[in-house]
Amino acid sequence: MRIGMILDHIYPTDPRVKNEAESLLESGFEVYLFCLSFKKNFVKNEIIDGIKICRFFCSKITYKLSALVYTIPLYKYIMSKKIETFISNNDINILHVHDIQIASSVFLANKSNNLDVVLDLHENRPEIMKYYKHVNSFLGKILINPKKWKKAEENFVKRSKKVIVVTEHAKKELTDRVSVDKEKIVVFPNTVSQKFYNNYKIDKKISRKYSGNFVMLYIGNTSKRRGLDLVLENIPKIISEIKNFKFVIVGSSSYDSEIKQKVEYLEIADYVDIEGWKDESLFQSYILSSSIGVSPLESNVHHDTTYANKIFQYLSLGCPVLCSDVVTQLDLINKYKFGLSFKSGDSEDFLKKFLVMYRNKSLLLKLKKNAKNAIIQSLNNSIVSKNMVRIYEKK
């Protein structure tokens, strides 16, 4: 069977797409990936780790139109023509759509082919959009309506053969909202592949840089809703006890200037390293140089129904986790005992739990062991992908 994955971005960037494709390849399926290039000079077709990559040019101006896809559907029509070509050229048997931004293009392109569509919802996009900077701008409020995105999502859920979501909580939220059979919704979490924690190289520069520090690490998007302000506000208190403390941030967002301003205002620049976004191949070096991984997400409908990739990346290399008690994170902490949780947005509780972890070395060692065991025994991609693969085995 030839599975046509549709991604409206460049590849490789998204570990979820890679993990799913690898699991399907291991089960004997062919995977063709439609993706984009924002550069005119690019390799149109190549094979990466067994995935047959098919790139199509998309100007950055055109790509920006994707934000308006459910208001002014120009992006929908432009992309549907490219997807029609992709389906025809590769004799695709079934379509696997990554998120709703490009879903309208897929359903339009599929009219003449009438292939089954699997809709993969990476997140609750209509909810998280409410926090996007461009959506809350003056023009954004006029042109982009998250309610229209939600209505479109519900329509695509009904029209798809199967729908993949990230957590059981996301499945419940969706089935409570849309009249669909629960059996239609399949859960596939954002975990890590065995390659991530078994096959990597250490960057010695990173290891040497932090060899004398007690490092708390954050990996990922740095937007305001991620809760980094709460961590920064506690650093003056932390360094009064831990002189060799470092808070390392590997990631970026449009909120970075505000983060840097806060660091300067709090006079903690010597204790905070803002590394910017790094290639995933360096994540292992940062994680292994750290004593605690942090995920201080603020509570909202989106965060309560999804998993942060960073959680599983931390765990896979035995890095204990300190995270806010958003529903899905708290569930994982309670079940696998790999860290401590604090009340979302509660600065005092964050500091209290952090110091418990720092002061209790035996606890930290226990959490470290539990973290590795959680990934090896229950949470790696080879295990969690089984339900997703069955979608195609039943075809």
One pLDDT digit (tens) per residue for the chain, 395 residues: 999 999 999 998 788 999 999 999 999 999 999 999 999 999 999 999 999 999 999 999 999 999 999 999 999 999 999 999 999 999 999 999 999 999 999 999 999 899 999 999 998 888 888 888 888 888 888 889 999 999 999 999 999 999 999 999 999 999 999 999 999 999 999 899 999 999 999 999 999 999 999 999 999 999 999 999 999 999 999 999 999 999 999 999 999 999 999 999 999 999 999 999 999 999 999 999 999 999 999 988 878 888 888 999 999 999 999 999 999 999 999 999 999 999 999 999 999 999 999 999 999 999 999 999 999 999 999 999 999 999 998 76
294 phi and psi, to 5 degrees?
-120, 145
* pLDDT of amino acid 253: 94
Structure token digits, residue 235: 């650093």
- The pLDDT, as a whole number, for residue 129 is 87
C-beta neighbour count of 133 within 10 angstroms: 12
Residues contacting 15, CB < 8 A, separation 6+ = 190, 192, 193, 280, 309
- 2-189+381-393 with 195-379: one CATH topology? yes
Q: Using the structure block, give the residue that is written with the tokens 């979490």.
A: 189
Give backbone dihedrals phi and psi of 228, rounded to 5 degrees, phi first: -70, -25
CA-CA-CA-CA torsion sign (87, 91, 93, 97): negative
Res 15: pLDDT: 86
Tokens of 116: 């089954």
User: Within a 10 A sphere around the Cβ of 342, how many other Cβ atoms?
Assistant: 21
**Cα separation of 333 and 302, whole Å?**
18
List residues bridging with 219 in a β-sheet. Answer: 250
pTM, rounded to two decimals = 0.92
- Angle, nearest 10°, between helix axes 228-238 and 347-359? 60
Q: What is the pLDDT of residue 252?
A: 95
Q: Which CATH superfamily is domain 2-189+381-393 in?
A: Glycogen Phosphorylase B; (3.40.50.2000)
C-alpha 253/C-alpha 223 separation (Å) is: 6
Question: Is the C-alpha dihedral spanning 235, 238, 241, 242 positive or negative?
Answer: negative
- Give domain limits for the chain: 2-189+381-393, 195-379
Q: Look up residue 255 and give its DSSP letter.
A: T
Strand pairing report for 321-324 and 116-120: unpaired
Say how far apart CA 223 and CA 207 lie, in whole Å: 27
Q: What residue spans of the chain are helical by DSSP H?
A: 15-26, 60-64, 74-90, 103-109, 125-128, 138-143, 146-159, 168-177, 194-198, 204-209, 228-238, 256-266, 283-288, 309-316, 327-336, 347-359, 361-374, 381-384, 386-393
Q: Which pLDDT value is given to residue 139?
A: 86
Gap between the Cα atoms of 380 and 196, Å rounded: 10
Q: Report the CATH superfamily, name and number, of domain 195-379.
A: Glycogen Phosphorylase B; (3.40.50.2000)
